[in-house]
Chains A and B, each alone.
Chain A
Amino acid sequence: MSMTFDKVLDARGLACPMPIIKARQEINALQPEKVLKVLSTDRGSVKDFQGWAQTAKNITLLAQETEKEDGKEVYVHYVKRVS
């Protein structure tokens, strides 16, 4: 799947809670309708991004995918700022 995005946050190697803390900072710096692509190696980020998207009023989680990179799984989250 190829999603369009406006900015990339590389949170690979970062442990919880950093992927969401950094994603939230990036999202708040983006204009509405812009999309942030987040790369994370933390498996827990998959459920946590879903929960965060339900809680935060100004974002939508457009898609999540898992990619293989050197045998390691990378979890990709597409977060759109909606307001």
Chain B
Amino acid sequence: MTKQQAQVTEWTVREQKDRLDRRANFFILDVRNRDEFSAWKIEGRQTPRMLNIPYFEMLEQGGKDDFIESIIAYTSRELVGQLPKDQPIVAVCAKGDTSAYVADGLRQLGYHAVNLQGGMRAWGNFTEINPVTESRELSVYQISRPARGCLSYVIVSDGQAAIIDPLRHIETYLDMSRAKGFRIEQVIDTHGHADHISGGPALAGQLRRPYYLHPYDAIHPIDMLPARVSFEYLRDGQPLAVGKARIQVLHIPGHTLGNVACLLNESYLFTGDSIFINSIARPDLGGRGETWAGLHYHSLRRLLGLADTVVVLPGHFSSPQEANVDRLFMASLGELKEKNDGLRMTQASEEAFVQYILGSLPEFPPQYVEIKRVNAGLLVVDEEKASELELGKNVCALAQAYAADST
């Protein structure tokens, strides 16, 4: 087995992302069980063709005692004609172990098969850094987890930095700080997140710098319990300085009660979970959708009162197709007013907007209540559990975005 495995070529998640970005031809054979596959799969600007055959079906229906022999028997009997001979086939499973056998079996049959190193777990944790703007006066970086659709930001001015919505793996920001020579002075969460575990308290705690949060989001909305994290209060209109740059805090309740946006130098708007590129945030993850949808309406209208030239940098994306050519998820407020359905609905009455939004809510992932507990410090989880809670793509936007993107 060891000898055979050594022959298998692996792709790192970085290599896979590069191929997805340049729309390279490859095929995905996903061997996870059918539920896992239908809940969450690899996506790109142009999603490759893929096939889902659970590994235990290959094992059982291949009928051999040895796993690789079963894969070979099953593939040559059942999959001939379904797998391409002229392009790479990447075998994918949950953690990258089982798919290594599958890739090995396929290679023995003459396919150009490779294994996705670390599987969907590694893909879900993969982090990418892309500059929005870079100069001595002001640099802004968009840090993303492409498989989850989570976005966070690093603002640097004059060697000082603020981190907005840091993701769970805080090494990303600490490594950047060393490599680019800036000092992280403050950490801001635009709201208490439901879909992913914030790196905010850990990052701020380790650096002994303030962690900013709006106090309304320091109460778990379903448990009605106060957070056990130490934080500094954010309030509407509050100015924050990052080197020579200036941030103005805008309290925009709707997605959460303590939701804020950060306006940087009156040019960049970090919208957190309010305005996305193709959609808007849902108001129901605190369990009070009917009540909060109206707040959301007024908050969105307030943001739309800013200049059309303001650049929106959102907290999430729903589809990789929302990225521009520089891999960035950003657009001017003016552009979004034209093309974003949720924003267009704010031109209607409050009643019509609330009706629209409540009719467009996707499923409420049950683990979101638990993730909010973790972010409020009410629940402590290990890496294994954290990875499991964060599995899959965020569902923080209205459903329309997904329907539109699946075409």
A is bound by B: yes
Contact call B59/A21, Cβ cutoff below 8 A: yes
B16 at the interface (CB under 8 A from A): no
- The answer to whether A16 touches B97 (Cβ under 8 A) is yes
C-alpha gap A50/B98 in the complex (Å): 17
Which residue in chain B gives the minimum CB-CB distance to A23?
A: B56
Q: Which residues of B contact A50 (CB under 8 A)?
A: 33
B65 within 8 A of A: yes
Q: B interface, how many residues as a size bin?
A: 20 to 34
B34 touches A16 (CB 8 A): no
Report yes or no: A17 in contact with B60, Cβ–Cβ below 8 A: no
A68 CA to B94 CA, complexed, in Å: 23
The residue that A44 contacts in the complex, of B59, B60, B94, with Cβ under 8 A, is: B94
A55 engages B61 (CB within 8 Å): yes
Chain A residue nearest to B34 in the complex (CB):
A51
B61 and A17 within 8 A (CB): no
A47→B55 CA distance, assembly (Å): 12
Which of A25, A43, A52 contacts B56 (CB under 8 A)? A52
Contact of A15 among B34, B54, B95, B388 (CB under 8 A): B95
Query: What A residues does B59 contact at CB under 8 A?
Result: 17, 20-21, 24, 52
Contact A56 B67 (CB under 8 A): no
Q: Which residue of chain B lies nearest to A51 when distances are taken between CB atoms in the complex?
A: B33
Q: B36 near A: Cβ within 8 Å?
A: yes
Residues facing B in A9-46 (CB within 8 A) are 15-17, 20-21, 24-25, 28, 43-44
Q: Which residue of B lies closest to A52 (CB)?
A: B56
Enumerate chain B residues within 8 angstroms of A15, measured Cβ to Cβ: 95, 97
Interface 1/0 per residue, B382-407 and A, CB below 8 Å: 00100010000000000000000000
Provide the main secondary structure of the chain A interface: helix
**A67 at interface, CB cutoff 8 A:** no
Assuming the A-B contacts A25-B65, A44-B94, are A17 and B55 also in contact, with contact meaning beta carbons closer than 8 angstroms in the complex?
A: yes
Are B101 and A47 in contact, with the CB atoms below 8 A?
Answer: no
A65 at the interface (CB under 8 A from B): no
Say whether B93 faces chain A, with CB atoms less than 8 Å apart: yes
Could you tell me which residues of chain B, from 16 to 64, have a CB within 8 Å of some CB in chain A? 33-36, 54-57, 59-61
Contact partners of B56 in chain A: CB under 8 A: 17, 20, 48, 51-52, 55
Q: In whole Å, how far is A71's beta carbon from the nearest beta carbon of chain B?
A: 9
Question: Which one of A21, A25, A28, A51 lies within 8 Å of B57 (CB-CB)?
Answer: A51
Q: A55-B60, A56-B60 are in contact. Are A17 and B36 (CB under 8 A)?
A: no
The residue that A48 contacts in the complex, of B33, B95, B97, with Cβ under 8 A, is B33
Complex alpha-carbon distance, A78 and B35, angstroms: 21
A50 to B384, CA, bound (A): 22
| Distance between Cα atoms of A28 and B65 in the complex (Å) | 9
- In Å, the complex CA distance between A36 and B227 comes to 46
**How far apart are B62's CB and chain A's nearest CB, in angstroms?**
11
B97 proximity list for chain A (CB < 8 A): 15-17
Looking across the interface, which residue of chain B has its beta carbon closest to that of A58?
B60
- Chain A residue nearest to B93 in the complex (CB): A16
The smallest beta-carbon distance between A61 and chain B, in angstroms, is 12
Residue of A nearest to B66 (CB): A21
Task: Give residues 335-391 of B contacting A (CB, 8 Å).
Answer: 384, 388
Name the B residues within 8 Å of A44 (CB-CB). 94-95
A51 to B153, CA, bound (A): 41
Asked whether, in the complex, the Cβ of A43 is within 8 Å of the Cβ of B388, the reply is yes
B388/A52 in contact, CB under 8 A: no
From 75 to 127 in chain B, residues with beta carbon under 8 angstroms from any chain A beta carbon are 93-95, 97-98, 101
* Smallest beta-carbon distance B244→chain A, Å: 49
Task: Choose among A50, A51, A55 the residue with the greatest number of B CB atoms under 10 Å from its CB.
Answer: A51
In the assembly, what is the distance between CA of A52 and CA of B97, in Å? Answer: 18
Shortest CB–CB separation between residue A73 and chain B, in angstroms?
A: 9
A binding-site residues for B, Cβ under 8 Å: 15-17, 20-21, 24-25, 28, 43-44, 47-48, 50-52, 55-56
Other than the known A16-B95, A24-B59, A55-B54, what 4 A-B pairs have Cβ atoms closer than 8 Å? A17-B55, A17-B59, A17-B101, A52-B60
